[in-house]
Structure 1
Amino acid sequence: MFIINLTYKTELDCVDQFLNDHIEFLNAQYELGHFLASGRKIPRTGGVILSNVKNKSELEKIIKRDPFKINELADYELIEFVPSKTSEELKFLIEE
């Protein structure tokens, strides 16, 4: 599992120009089961995505299709972790 930490590299008005395309990218990844949660940071300096993709190189390929990445609007930090405890609602995350 990965936490994807996005940090914007440009002004918000540039980010906003590609926001709808980014949301379409996110929606496609949710439909494929790759992403579990996502949202803006506060203050709005970027965002965070929780991904259940198991392979870092596969996740990097997915991220390359993000309009924010394509247009060099954000830096991406991938933090891999193994959940050892979750709420009952998220128990599926640790079941293999």
Structure 2
Amino acid sequence: MLYLILLRYRAPLEELDRHLAAHRDFLHRHYAAGHFLLSGRQEPRVGGAILARGTSREEVAGWLAEDPFHREGLADYETIAWAPGLRAGDAPAAWAPDAAVVERAVEN
């Protein structure tokens, strides 16, 4: 199952930036474990987003509890379970193996 995780910052950016290196270490650990597929900040910088792959919402919640932004109370998290029904032909099949493929139109 895929999960969209939306972070909303609760603290000033100056405080978040003091914990940014530890937050990035957290992200890197979960990329290395195969849990996270994409992540980044929102624009404007009011929060962030993570696309994760996991077996349950509880598993994902356990990972997020390790995030320094969570431990320090710097962000609120919304976790959305997501079962994509369609994917672009150039999107990795492993990300959404049950999704039907929609190919781009070829221009002449």
Task: Normalising by structure 1, report the TM-score.
Answer: 0.95
Q: CA deviation at 1:83?
A: 1.1
Aligned residues: percent identity?
35
Report SS of the residue matched to 2:92.
Answer: helix
Q: What is the number of equivalent residue pairs in this alignment?
A: 96
Deviations 1:14-67 (A, max 9, x none): 000000000000000000000000000000001000001121000000000000
Q: Which runs of 5+ in 1 are unaligned?
A: none
Q: Which runs of 5+ in 2 are unaligned?
A: 99-108
Q: Which has the larger share of strand?
A: 2
Report SS of the residue matched to 1:68.
Answer: helix
Residue of structure 1 equivalent to 2:63: 62
RMSD: 1.0
State the structure with bigger RCO (CA 8 A, min sep 6), 1 or 2: 1
Q: Choose which of 68, 91, 94 in structure 2 pairs with 1:92.
A: 94
* 2:93 aligned partner, one-letter code: K
What are the equivalent positions in structure 2 for 1:70-81 lying under 5 Å apart? 70-81=71-82
